């Protein structure tokens, strides 16, 4: 491991950034260095500009990929190498504004019924019922289920923030049925390796197989369950500020995107009705 790479990792860790962010930032810096065949320490603003042009015009990377690369280089040159030109010479690309894909309540029900694996089904139910990110769902521990207070403790979500979300009676019933079969003790949804949770790839694969079995043709991923949770709550009459708290968004503007995908009618229906008749 090079000294520069080690210093960058140390700078990332002392700021309590997530392991995923550490891995992502280091990877992008390595790609930048490999592109020029030189250490980033001897590269500067002109090479950074050339690399951005290459990424946009030659690789046609998505906005999120491009933005990750920009953030990684900003961190390297602004924090680890302490260059004073970082902010001015690494502009962000304009983000494309797209609306999130959303499943209807009926589609969520069909999809969950199409998951044969008990553990995968319980996890996908939990992600939908709690509006969780995939990383938050697989990171849950048995101790995070507070049945006495009917709360789900989401620890160290995006931005290293904890939050509590309501635990519905329906979800608790399904989780108890799952626990009686698997008896997890540490992670609520353990993976094949001892002491490790389910791998995200395995969960995404299970979701996509269930999507195909259920006949859902619209593009969707595990994260679509979180979008669906927010939209269904909005359609049920839950106010936007409450949904912001449930999702763990720092900004209400981020949550307001769901105003553009809900059907506009306040149904007053239980957003978790999709979990009610899976047996």
Name the residues annotated as catalytic.
Answer: 133, 158, 223, 226, 249, 258
Tokens 């680890």 locate to 80
Edge-first strand listing for the sheet containing 151-157: 145-146, 151-157, 161-166
Q: Write out the two tokens for 93.
A: 């690309």
- Phi, psi of 149, deg, nearest 5: -100, -5
Burial per residue of 32-47, b for 16 or more beta-carbon CB atoms within 10 angstroms, e otherwise:
bbeeeeeebeebeeeb
Tokens 């962010």 locate to 21
- Phi, psi of 161, deg, nearest 5: -115, 140
Q: How far apart are the first and last CA of the chain?
A: 53
Spell out the alpha helix ranges (H) of the chain: 3-14, 19-36, 45-54, 63-75, 86-89, 105-113, 118-130, 134-138, 169-182, 200-213, 222-235, 240-247, 252-255
Burial of 14 (0-12, 13-18, 19+ CB in 10 A): exposed
């Amino acid at each position: 491991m090079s000294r520069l790479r080690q210093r960058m990792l140390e700078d990332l860790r002392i700021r309590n950034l997530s392991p995923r962010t550490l891995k992502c930032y280091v990877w992008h810096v390595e790609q930048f260095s490999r592109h020029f065949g030189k250490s980033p320490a001897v590269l500067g603003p002109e090479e950074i500009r050339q690399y951005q042009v290459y990424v946009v015009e030659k690789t046609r990377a998505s906005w999120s990929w491009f933005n990750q690369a920009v953030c990684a280089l900003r961190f390297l040159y602004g924090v680890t190498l302490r260059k004073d030109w970082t902010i001015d010479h690494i502009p962000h690309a304009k983000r494309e504004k797209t609306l999130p894909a959303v499943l209807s309540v009926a589609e969520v029900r069909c999809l969950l019924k199409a998951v044969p694996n008990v553990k995968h089904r319980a996890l996908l139910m939990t992600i939908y019922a709690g509006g969780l990110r995939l990383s938050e769902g697989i990171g849950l521990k048995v101790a995070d289920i507070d049945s006495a207070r009917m709360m789900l403790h989401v620890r160290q979500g995006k931005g290293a923030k904890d939050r509590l979300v309501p635990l519905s009676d329906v979800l608790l019933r399904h989780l108890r049925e799952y626990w009686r079969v698997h008896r997890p003790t540490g992670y609520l949804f353990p993976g094949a390796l001892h002491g490790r949770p389910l791998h995200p790839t395995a969960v995404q694969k299970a979701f996509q197989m269930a999507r195909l079995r259920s006949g859902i043709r619209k593009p969707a991923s595990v994260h679509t369950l979180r979008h669906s949770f927010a939209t269904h709550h909005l359609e049920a009459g839950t106010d936007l500020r409450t949904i912001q708290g449930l999702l763990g968004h720092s900004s209400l503007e981020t949550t307001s995107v769901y105003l553009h995908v809900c059907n506009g009618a306040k149904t007053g229906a239980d957003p978790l009705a999709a979990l009610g008749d899976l047996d």
